[in-house]
Amino acid sequence: MTANVVVIGSLNMDLVTRAPRLPRGGETLIGHSFATVSGGKGANQAVAAARLGARVSMVGCVGSDDYGVQLRDALKAEQIDCQAVSAVEGSSGVALIVVDDDSQNAIVIVAGANGALTPAVVERFDAVLQGADVVICQLEIPDATVGHALKRARALGKTVILNPAPASRPLPADWFAAIDYLIPNESEAAALSGVTVDSLQTAENAATQLIAMGAGKVIVTLGAQGSLFANGTGFEHFPAPAVKAVDTTAAGDTFVGGFAAALASGKSEAEAIRYGQIAAALSVTRAGAQPSIPTMSEVQAFKLA
Ligand code: RIB
């Protein structure tokens, strides 16, 4: 069965510089290379879910510039339904990304057209939401839109995933009851829960806190340490496959999209987490956001290796 995943979120053009290290304040560094790459957490998760087996629709906004055309075309090339990707006057979202020789990155985003994705726009495409099995949101669009989308998806009885990225503060309390799976990384789990996350134990503490706030289940992604699943009655740690990282940009997005596609197709939570982890591990071995996301057959081949 091919399941329907709907992603409500951002599309950004990534302006990516590779440099020996991340620059300090006031410093000018000589970089190795520059590329423009399609990205944005929402669009990356849509591409991941599509390459990893789901039928995907995207709800979002691009600008009236060339980037807007390129971002939309990149999704269409993955057979992603873009009827709910609207072009609005002005600039598309952009992300300024520096990746260093240790494959760490620093990112500054400018919302641009992503800021035009209002609750009213989501309402206009309610039929798209109605066709979903799984709905995914992130935090690169206005908070009011995320809150609206989560609650509408819950009211329609969909499986609801929130990847709270980027997060620097607690979530509105009235969102939690609408969330089936909350998927933060360590720093997001800390920002949301108030618990410093620097170990498996502290990830468990943060997840416990987030479930007490009302989230259904929590998956804290821990980079090379894998991920921690919590469902309110216990925890399970899923170690990550070991790979040589080239660029970690969009690894979290690949996990979320892969997890959603697998879950929507009827796989168990544990299978979906392992599937998402293999996809994310493969993505960090390649440069860029959307170009780094593997296909289902690559993930299956990795399993056999
Ligand atoms: O998660 C990676 C993404 O974050 C990049 O593609 C960039 O656009 C930012 O949104």
- The string of DSSP codes covering 180-246 is SEE--BHHHHHHHHS----SHHHHHHHHHHHHHHT-SEEEEE-GGG-EEEE-SS-EEEEPPPP---S
Residue 227: left (phi > 0), alpha (psi -120 to 50), or beta? beta
Our answer on whether the CB atom of 204 is closer than 6 Å to any ligand 1 atom is no
Which of 14, 108, 256, 286 to mutate to test ligand 1, by most ligand atoms within 8 A of the CB atom?
14
Checking if the pLDDT of 303 tops 80, the result is: no
Residue 2's pLDDT is: 79
Query: What does the pLDDT read at residue 1?
Result: 64
pTM: 0.97
90 assigned binding-site residue: no
Q: Is the pLDDT of residue 3 over 90?
A: no
- Compute, in angstroms, the gap from residue 116 CA to the centroid of ligand 1: 18
Question: Given pLDDT bands bounded at 50, 70 and 90, which one contains residue 55?
Answer: very high
Residues marked as catalytic:
253
Q: How far is CA 225 from CA 56, 222, 247, 259, 272, in A?
A: 29, 5, 16, 17, 17
pLDDT for the residue numbered 9: 98
The average pLDDT across 82-106 equals 96
Q: Is 221 annotated as a binding residue?
A: yes
140 has pLDDT over 70: yes
Q: Evaluate: CB of 289 within 6 angstroms of ligand 1.
A: yes
Closest-CA residue, ligand 1 atom 6, reads 39
95 C-alpha to center of ligand 1: Å?
Answer: 7
Does the pLDDT value for residue 113 go beyond 70? yes
Compute, in angstroms, the gap from residue 10 CA to the centroid of ligand 1.
Answer: 9
Q: Answer whether 185 contacts ligand 1 (Cβ < 6 A).
A: no
Percent of the chain with pLDDT over 90: 97
Report whether residue 78 contacts ligand 1, using a CB cutoff of 6 Å: no
> Hey, what's the torsion of the CAs at 288, 294, 298, 303, to 10 degrees?
100
Number of H helices, E strands in the chain: 10, 13
Q: Pull the structure tokens for residue 248.
A: 């970690």
Give tens-digit pLDDT for 191-243. Answer: 999 999 999 999 999 999 999 999 999 999 999 999 999 999 999 999 999 99
Is the CB of residue 168 less than 8 Å from the CB of residue 182?
no
Domain borders along the chain are 3-11+41-92+113-304
Domain 3-11+41-92+113-304, CATH: 3.40.1190.20
Report the nearest atom of ligand 1 relative to the CA of 10: 10
Ligand 1 atom showing the smallest separation from residue 165 Cα:
1
18 lines ligand 1 (CB under 6 A): no
CA of 39 from ligand 1 middle (Å) equals 5
304 band by pLDDT with thresholds 50, 70 and 90: low
CA–CA gap between residue 258 and residue 293 (Å, rounded): 10
Q: Is 283 annotated as a binding residue?
A: yes
Mean pLDDT of 157-178: 96
Q: Is 147's pLDDT higher than 80?
A: yes
Determine the pLDDT at residue 168.
Answer: 82
